Amino acid sequence: SPSYLFTLSNEIAAAYMDEEGRQRLDWSVDKVNEVIERLQKIDRVFVFTGDDFDSTIKAKDNTKILFKIDGIKGSKVKKILRTDHNIRLEMSDYYYGLILTSLMNDEEDYEKLIKAIEEIAATAPYEEINSVSIEMPTPQVVMNLAAAYYGKKELVDLESAIGRVSAASIIPYPPGIPLIVPGEMITRELYDHIIMTMENGLEIVGLMGYNKDKIVVVE
């Protein structure tokens, strides 16, 4: 059965957009553009506004702000904003943080965001941010995905899993693309890539244990 609360929320959202929502959306887009202009004036802050030379970019979501602070990893900026300023980013990677705005954000929210980023840029120590390869290792398929997923499995330490067949999907986020899926071999190259990703503060979906140091493999 459908969730009546979810269905009702959709109807309320549609009714809102039919009335004041469209005007509010116009205000929000204008406000985001204003925030981008103000952020670009802050020392160390860079805001991505497009790339005329990248033909793969077809459009840009004008309700989002993609930014970075020179000398600070994106994952670290995300953590500081959450713990010190109670501001949650949609996601972050090694370099950037992504701000997702909504029609419910008001003037106070945007001012709080700008001041927080300004404070981080002014006070956070500079660290050298080396280039990180985004090339993902090519996995080795050794058995059927369904057989690996539904077959007998066990939980082992991540390093001990080298040479074993994964029974779980391991997904770095972002970008949210599986690094390995059930039925594929966990190689040293894949292990090193997982460790590099975690050391740079990025989220890994699919690992187990309090410290994300275990993985489910085929027995």
Q: What is the mean pLDDT of the chain?
A: 92
pTM: 0.77
Weakest-pLDDT range from 40-54, 55-69, 121-135: 121-135
State how far the Cα of 200 lies from the Cα of 155, in Å rounded to an integer: 25
Kindly report, residue by residue over 120-159, the tens digit of the pLDDT.
Answer: 999 999 988 877 766 778 889 999 999 999 999 999 999 9
pLDDT value of position 134: 67
Do domains 4-123 and 140-218 share one topology? The answer is no
Instruction: Show Cβ contacts of residue 53 under 8 Å, excluding neighbours closer than 6 positions.
Output: none
Give the H or E element holding residue 192: helix 188-199
CA angle 48, 177, 205 (to 5 degrees): 105
**Residue % of the chain over a pLDDT of 70:** 98
pLDDT value of position 133: 67
Name the CATH architecture for the domain at 140-218. Alpha-Beta Complex (3.90)
Give the H or E element holding residue 200: none
Using DSSP, state whether 69 is helix, strand or coil: strand
Provide CATH code, domain 4-123. Answer: 3.90.1150.150
Domain positions in the chain = 4-123, 140-218
